[in-house]
Amino acid sequence: MSDSRRAGARGGPGAGHGQKFEKPKNFGTSLRRMLAYLRGEQVFFILALALILVSVILNTIAPARLGGAITNHLERTPNLPLFVHEMIILLVIYAGAFAANAASGVFISIMTNRLIFKIRKEAFHHIQRLSVAFFDSSTSGDI
């Protein structure tokens, strides 16, 4: 096997960027702390999940509907007006799936931006409470 193939097996260009990550010492505690940030965001979270579910259901229904329209209105008994009607219904289904997917993305973006704002705000307030001696004893990369 060539060296280029072996390099690709490691994740390809930029995989990991040479950085190592730390695993939490206590996963349960870390998970509870992260979920605590979601407390005010349940509405956005539930709406996003519901819209994702709607999008998946509509994207699953559409191909079956298309297959039935082709079989019933073009192959068995050719009926172009009914086929066009089915295609309009299919267009509405795909438009609904697109709208649900886009709306879920908006809700997730709003939720994550609010969560990041909370975390940054807490970090800023924590740093503001630290003593000057802490900053004198720590280098800027350690803070």
pLDDT digits over 13-60, tens only?
655 566 777 777 888 888 888 888 888 888 999 999 999 999 999 999
pLDDT single digits (tens) 84-122: 999 999 999 999 999 999 999 999 999 999 999 998 999
pLDDT, residue 142, reads 63
pLDDT, residue 110, reads 93
Cα–Cα distance, 116 to 68 (Å, whole number): 47
Of the spans 7-16, 22-31, 65-74, which averages the highest pLDDT? 65-74
Number of H helices and number of E strands within the chain?
A: 5, 0
Neighbouring C-beta atoms of residue 42, cutoff 10 Å: 10
Exposed/middle/buried for 48, CB within 10 Å: 0-12, 13-18, 19+?
buried
Structure tokens at 58: 């509509």
> pTM of the entire structure?
0.68
Cα–Cα distance, 76 to 67 (Å, whole number): 12
pLDDT, residue 130, reads 86
Cα–Cα distance, 57 to 39 (Å, whole number): 28
pLDDT, residue 8, reads 47
